[in-house]
Amino acid sequence: MLGLMQDQPLAISSLIEFAARHHHDGQIVSRRVEGDIHRYTYREAAARSRQVAAALDRLGLAFSERVATLAWNGYRHFELYFGIAGSGRVVHTLNPRLAPEQLVWIANHAEDRVIAFDLSFLLLIKAVWRQCPTVKHWIALCEPGALPSDSGIDGLQSYEAWIAGQSDTYAWPVFDEKSAAILCYTSGTTGNPKGALYSHRSTLLHAWAVALPDAISLSARDSILPVVPMFHVNAWGIPFAAAMTGARLVFPGAALDGKSVYELLESERVTMAAGVPTVWLMLLNHVKQNGLKFTHMRRTLIGGSACPPAMIKSFRDDYDVTVLHGWGMTEMSPVGTVCNLKLAQLALEPDAQLAILAKQGRALFGVEMRIVGPDGRELPWDGQASGDLHVRGPWIVSGYFRGEGGDPLVDGWFPTGDVASIDADGFLQITDRSKDVIKSGGEWISSIDIENVAVAHPAVAMAACIALPHPKWGERPLLVVVKKPGAEVSRDDLLHFYTGKVAQWQVPDDVVFVETIPLGATGKMQKNKLREQFKGHRLPG
Amino acid sequence: MLGLMQDQPLAISSLIEFAARHHHDGQIVSRRVEGDIHRYTYREAAARSRQVAAALDRLGLAFSERVATLAWNGYRHFELYFGIAGSGRVVHTLNPRLAPEQLVWIANHAEDRVIAFDLSFLLLIKAVWRQCPTVKHWIALCEPGALPSDSGIDGLQSYEAWIAGQSDTYAWPVFDEKSAAILCYTSGTTGNPKGALYSHRSTLLHAWAVALPDAISLSARDSILPVVPMFHVNAWGIPFAAAMTGARLVFPGAALDGKSVYELLESERVTMAAGVPTVWLMLLNHVKQNGLKFTHMRRTLIGGSACPPAMIKSFRDDYDVTVLHGWGMTEMSPVGTVCNLKLAQLALEPDAQLAILAKQGRALFGVEMRIVGPDGRELPWDGQASGDLHVRGPWIVSGYFRGEGGDPLVDGWFPTGDVASIDADGFLQITDRSKDVIKSGGEWISSIDIENVAVAHPAVAMAACIALPHPKWGERPLLVVVKKPGAEVSRDDLLHFYTGKVAQWQVPDDVVFVETIPLGATGKMQKNKLREQFKGHRLPG
Please tell me what DSSP assigns to residue A348. S
ipTM exceeds 0.95, yes or no: no
Contact assignment for B8 to A426 by CB distance below 8 Å: no
What is the structure's pLDDT at B190?
61
3-class secondary structure, A496:
helix
pLDDT digits (tens, 9 = 90+) for A170-220: 999 999 999 999 999 987 656 789 999 999 999 999 999 999 999 999 999
Alpha helices (H) along A187-301: 200-211, 238-245, 258-267, 277-289
Strand partners of residue A513: A481
| Residue B241 in this model has a pLDDT that exceeds 90 | yes
**Domains of chain A by range and CATH?**
15-254 (3.40.50.12780), 363-433 (2.30.38.10), 438-533 (3.30.300.30)
What is the structure's pLDDT at A434?
81
DSSP letters of B280-331? HHHHHHHHHHTT---SS--EEEE-SSPPPHHHHHHHHHHH--EEEEEEE-GG
Alpha helices (H) along A268-413: 277-289, 309-319, 350-357
Q: Which residues of A405-421 are buried (b: 16+ CB within 10 A; e: fewer)?
A: eeebbeeebbbbbbbbb
B439 annotated active-site:
yes
Measured between beta carbons, the chain A residues lying within 8 angstroms of B2 are 176, 178-180, 199
What is the structure's pLDDT at B523?
74
User: pTM for this one?
Assistant: 0.91
Angle in degrees, CA A225, A228, A234, rounded to 5: 100
Q: Between β-strands A180-186 and A90-93, what pairing exists: parallel, antiparallel or unpaired?
A: parallel
A2/B contact by beta carbon, under 8 A: yes
Enumerate residues 342 to 381 of chain A having a beta carbon within 8 A of any beta carbon in chain B.
342-344, 346, 362-363, 365, 368
B179/A contact by beta carbon, under 8 A: yes
- Chain centre to alpha carbon of residue A292: 27
What is the structure's pLDDT at A327?
96
Strand partners of residue B397: A5
Measured between beta carbons, the chain B residues lying within 8 angstroms of A205 are 208
Measured CA to CA, the distance from residue A119 to residue A121 in angstroms comes to 5
Mean pLDDT of chain B: 94
pLDDT (mean) for B245-265: 96
| Residue B245 in this model has a pLDDT that exceeds 70 | yes
Q: Are B421 and B437 in contact (CB under 8 A)?
A: no
pLDDT digits (tens, 9 = 90+) for A380-424: 999 999 999 999 999 999 999 999 989 999 999 999 999 999 999
B241/A contact by beta carbon, under 8 A: no
Q: How confident is the model at residue A362 (pLDDT cuts 50, 70, 90)?
A: very high
3-class secondary structure, A212:
coil
Three-class DSSP labels, A127-174: HHHHHCCCCCEEEECCCHHHCCCCCCCCCCEEHHHHHHCCCCCCCCCC
Strand partners of residue A279: none
Please tell me what DSSP assigns to residue B111. T
pLDDT (mean) for B215-233: 96
DSSP letters of B182-206? EEEEE--SSSS-EEEEEEHHHHHHH
Q: How confident is the model at residue B220 (pLDDT cuts 50, 70, 90)?
A: very high
Measured between beta carbons, the chain B residues lying within 8 angstroms of A218 are 212-213
| Residue B313 in this model has a pLDDT that exceeds 60 | yes
What is the structure's pLDDT at A428?
97
Q: What count of Cα atoms within 13 Å lies in the side-chain half-sphere of residue A144? A: 7
Letter for the amino acid at A396?
A: I
Q: How confident is the model at residue B188 (pLDDT cuts 50, 70, 90)?
A: low
Higher pLDDT, B235 or A305: B235
Contact assignment for A178 to B2 by CB distance below 8 Å: yes
Enumerate residues 446 to 475 of chain B having a beta carbon within 8 A of any beta carbon in chain A.
none
Measured between beta carbons, the chain B residues lying within 8 angstroms of A24 are 424
- Chain centre to alpha carbon of residue B6: 35
Q: How confident is the model at residue B150 (pLDDT cuts 50, 70, 90)?
A: confident
Measured CA to CA, the distance from residue A168 to residue A164 in angstroms comes to 9
In this structure, of A106-120, A131-145, A439-453, B383-397, the range with the lowest mean pLDDT score is A439-453
Burial class (CB in 10 A: 0-12, 13-18, 19+), B307: buried
Enumerate residues 180 to 239 of chain B having a beta carbon within 8 A of any beta carbon in chain A.
180-181, 196-202, 205, 208-209, 211-214, 217-223
Higher pLDDT, B277 or B6: B6
pLDDT digits (tens, 9 = 90+) for B477-515: 999 999 998 999 999 999 999 998 888 889 999 999 999
B186 annotated active-site:
yes
Q: Are B2 and A397 in contact (CB under 8 A)?
A: no
What is the structure's pLDDT at A188?
62
pLDDT digits (tens, 9 = 90+) for A485-496: 899 999 999 999
What is the structure's pLDDT at B442?
76
| Residue B189 in this model has a pLDDT that exceeds 60 | no
pLDDT (mean) for B155-182: 97
Please tell me what DSSP assigns to residue B58. H
Burial class (CB in 10 A: 0-12, 13-18, 19+), B532: exposed
What is the structure's pLDDT at A190?
61
The closest of B461, B468, B430 to B446, measured between CA atoms, is B430
Mean pLDDT of chain A: 94
pLDDT digits (tens, 9 = 90+) for B433-454: 888 888 888 778 888 889 989 9
